[in-house]
Amino acid sequence: MFWQQVVNGLTAGATYALVAAGYTLVFGVLEIINMAHAEIFMIGAFIGLLLVTGTCCPVWAAVAGAMIGAGLLGWALERLALRPLRKQGVSHLAPLISTIGVSIFLMSLAMKIFGPQSVRFPASVEPRFFNLFGTVNISLLQIVILGISLALVAALKVLLARTRLGKALRAVAENPEAAGLMGVNVNSVMAAAVVMASALGGAAGVLVGLQFNAVSPTMGIAYGLKGLAIIIVGGMGSVAGAVAGGLLLGAAEVLAIAYIGSSYRDAVAFIILIAVLLIKPSGIFGKLEGRKG
């Protein structure tokens, strides 16, 4: 029973990790909290839903389509709401507020188009179960979710570590001015960070839609709040921290539901957050200098 819960928790945690990786990428490179990320996640889920119901795409194509759509949305967000604020003398609260504005805009737009009720996701993966070690069952869907999530986060990690773009991203994260002087196009690198983060968010949206078999305009809020908690628990700007924090939260939530009660589920993330902040304010994988936040 315990190990079954852990498997379920890790599946949920993998999608949390994917959402949190998007937050952490934007925070690491642009030093802003992208409050619209949760709504991009939700729009990604709807794009996936439309692709699956409209064209009967397989799951991987729906995920890819959602990533492209969400990525475009991220590009628009960066161009319209973030880049104009990147000038001298603008309070660092401004990007926070403008992304809140975008998030209200996207959520109410989705409300208007799709209606407030949650829509069922057609089961495009047949419910098959595999038995592990005699006691634990894992469904094909869970394997797909875990596989896609972890593959995407691993791809992000490789991109950051090995490619030219990754090097530019890390340089801008370290010091935008110095990176600019070294010939890095800071604006396009920042746009790339937002686009990549949004694409990850869109993929997470489809996977969560599949997991709970439901998509709704308000599905982003809980994931957004948890994603924020995770990046602090894991350490701001750290992809490894986002993954560790996401998996930890998924497991902790499922265990809390099993042993305490389902109604406390949404508080788990923040109880972990406050506990971690008390012990190690920079997060599990955070550097101490990250505290300047």
Partner 1 sequence: MDLLNVYHLQIITFMAVNSILALSFYLPLSAGQLSLGCAGFMSIGAYTAAILSLHYGMPVFTTIPAGAAAAALAGVLLGFPALRLTGVYLAIATLGFGEVVRVLFLNLKITNGALGMPEIPNLNDYFSALYRSWGLQGGLAGLDLPRLAALTTVVFCYFVLAACVAFVLRQENSRTGRAMAAVKADEVASGVMGIGATYIKMLAFVQGAFLAGLAGAISAHVTNFIAPGDFNYHRAVNILLFVVLGGSELVWGGLLGAAVLSVLPEFLRFMQDFRWIIFGALLAAMMVFRPQGLIDRQLLCRFSLRKKPGMDGMDARSSSGEVD
Tokens matching residue 90: 């603008």
Does residue 73 touch partner 1 according to CB under 8 A?
A: no
Does residue 80 touch partner 1 according to CB under 8 A?
A: yes
Stretch that binds partner 1, among 7-15, 64-72, 77-85, 127-135 (CB under 8 A): 77-85
Does residue 56 touch partner 1 according to CB under 8 A?
A: no
> CA 123, 128, 133, 135 torsion: positive or negative?
positive
If you count them, how many residues does the chain have? 293
Pattern 246-285, binding to partner 1, x per CB under 8 A?
---------------x-xx-xx-xxx-xx--xx--x----
Pattern 7-46, binding to partner 1, x per CB under 8 A?
--------------------x-----x-------------
Tokens matching residue 116: 């407030």
Does residue 161 touch partner 1 according to CB under 8 A?
A: no
Q: Output the CA–CA distances (angstroms, integers) from residue 271 to 4, 21, 188, 268, in the order listed.
A: 24, 21, 38, 5
Does residue 111 touch partner 1 according to CB under 8 A?
A: yes
Among all chains, which residue has been given the structure tokens 């937050």? 23
CB of 130 to partner 1, least distance (A): 35
Helices (H), ranges, the chain? 2-30, 37-55, 59-77, 93-114, 140-162, 164-174, 176-181, 186-212, 219-234, 239-259, 265-279
Tokens matching residue 173: 């994260």
Does residue 100 touch partner 1 according to CB under 8 A?
A: yes
Does residue 228 touch partner 1 according to CB under 8 A?
A: yes
**The only residue of 116, 122, 147, 293 in contact with partner 1, by rule CB under 8 A:** 293
Kindly report the number of other CB atoms within 10 A of residue 23's CB atom: 27
Does residue 174 touch partner 1 according to CB under 8 A?
A: no
Chain residues binding partner 1 by CB under 8 A are 27, 33, 80-81, 84-85, 89-95, 97-109, 111-112, 221, 225, 228-229, 232, 236, 261, 263-264, 266-267, 269-271, 273-274, 277-278, 281, 291-293
